[in-house]
Amino acid sequence: MALLAITSVGILSSSAVPLRAKANAAAAIKKRDLCVSKCVTPVITPGKARMKMDLSPTQKANIRKRLKAADDVVMKIQQSGVECNALTKLKAEPTEAQMPAKDKYTVFSRTFKGYRKSVHKVPHFTKVAIPRTAPAGF
């Protein structure tokens, strides 16, 4: 079985091609492969999505609506006569009407400047419980 060499002309058997021609053919293949990999344009992806610093009036209204709905659930459970530790903790927290705007629309964050960040920067903030009170002093 004879060895074959690939050149720009085609495939030749090893007996017909001198050693120098084989080396040149191999170098040509490497150059061509290198050029193909360098000439491909990179895929440009968009950067990180920008998030507004402030909440829109609609977002604020939706937050107030969710807080009121949670307050209604706590009140209905309390009126039904059920007693448990979780309900006692929820009754101790302020209602939506008693909360200052600072606590409604921002949450404590030790990594942010001023130790507060907008509630819409919390991942899944519409699905998770947001604390109604901040740590003492914040």
In a domain, 130, yes or no: no
Instruction: Identify the domain containing residue 32 by its residue range.
Output: 4-38
Average pLDDT over residues 28-42: 57
The whole-chain average pLDDT of the chain stands at 79
In a domain, 46, yes or no: no
Burial of 106 (C-beta count, 10 Å sphere; 0-12/13-18/19+):
buried
In a domain, 70, yes or no: yes
Q: How far is it, in rounded angstroms, from Cα 56 to Cα 76? A: 31
Residue 61 pLDDT grade (very low, low, confident, very high; cuts 50, 70, 90): very high
Token digits for 128? 């998770």
This prediction has a pTM of 0.61
In a domain, 113, yes or no: yes
pLDDT digits (tens, 9 = 90+) for 63-107: 999 999 999 999 999 999 999 999 999 999 999 999 999 999 999
119 close to 131: Cβ distance less than 8 angstroms: no
